[in-house]
Amino acid sequence: MPNETGPDGRTALIATLFEDGVRANRDTLATMDAAIVTAADRLIDCLTHGGKVLSCGNGGSAGDAQHFSSELVNRFERERRALPAVALTTESSTLTAIANDYDYDRLFSRQIEALGRPGDTLLAISTSGNSGNVVQAIAAAHDAGMGVVALTGKDGGRMASILAADDIELRAVSTTTARIQEIHLLFIHCLCRLIEDHLLD
């Protein structure tokens, strides 16, 4: 087995990945700091006026949607009341029924038709901004009178082009999927912290 600093260059690769992460975080903070605050305020307004947050995404973004929901329903860092949030990625019978009877692109929009109400907010997550079912989820949220907070990357993709004027986009400044996913998780933790701090002030 090669040692840690051997000729295979693994430690150099790890250092490069960490440096890429630092650069992507720094560049994103420079453009998104105010937008994160605005997104948190939007979610706080939703939650304090009887609304709920529905979240969706595919693959790693599905995990992020579930992570966000669990932090709201349970707790993030401090004791406070439970908050209404539902990840649209978890009900296997519902997901497979929609995919089978309709189309995979309707996976989330169909659930929003059932659960979304005016005053609710959709947290829509896609590293490329081009996930068809997330794009349709945003359209369904608009039809339901919901606001949207979109987490994207790269150039924002189709999601960025269909957001309403009062929707909020948090875009990771990177073209690398792994870096975008890392920043999305940081976005989520920032939002959870700001929500929690507001409730406990």
Q: Is 133 part of any known ligand binding site?
A: no
Q: Where are the alpha helices (DSSP H) in 76-176?
A: 92-101, 109-115, 132-143, 157-162
According to DSSP, residue 105 is labeled G
Q: Is 100 part of any known ligand binding site?
A: yes
Q: Is 126 part of any known ligand binding site?
A: yes
According to DSSP, residue 78 is labeled S
Q: Is 67 part of any known ligand binding site?
A: yes
Q: Is 189 part of any known ligand binding site?
A: yes
For 17-63, give the secondary structure using H, E and C.
HHHHHHHHHHHHHHHHHHHHHHHHHHHHHHHHCCCCEEEECCCHHHH
Q: Is 143 part of any known ligand binding site?
A: no
Q: Is 69 part of any known ligand binding site?
A: no
Q: Is 128 part of any known ligand binding site?
A: yes
Q: Is 71 part of any known ligand binding site?
A: yes
CA separation for the pair 9, 119 (Å, rounded): 52
The kind and range of the H/E element at 69 are helix 60-73
Q: Is 91 part of any known ligand binding site?
A: no
Binding positions: 58-60, 67, 71, 100-101, 126-128, 131, 181, 189
Binding positions for substrate: 58-60, 71, 100-101, 126-128, 131, 181
Binding positions for Zn(2+): 67, 71, 181, 189
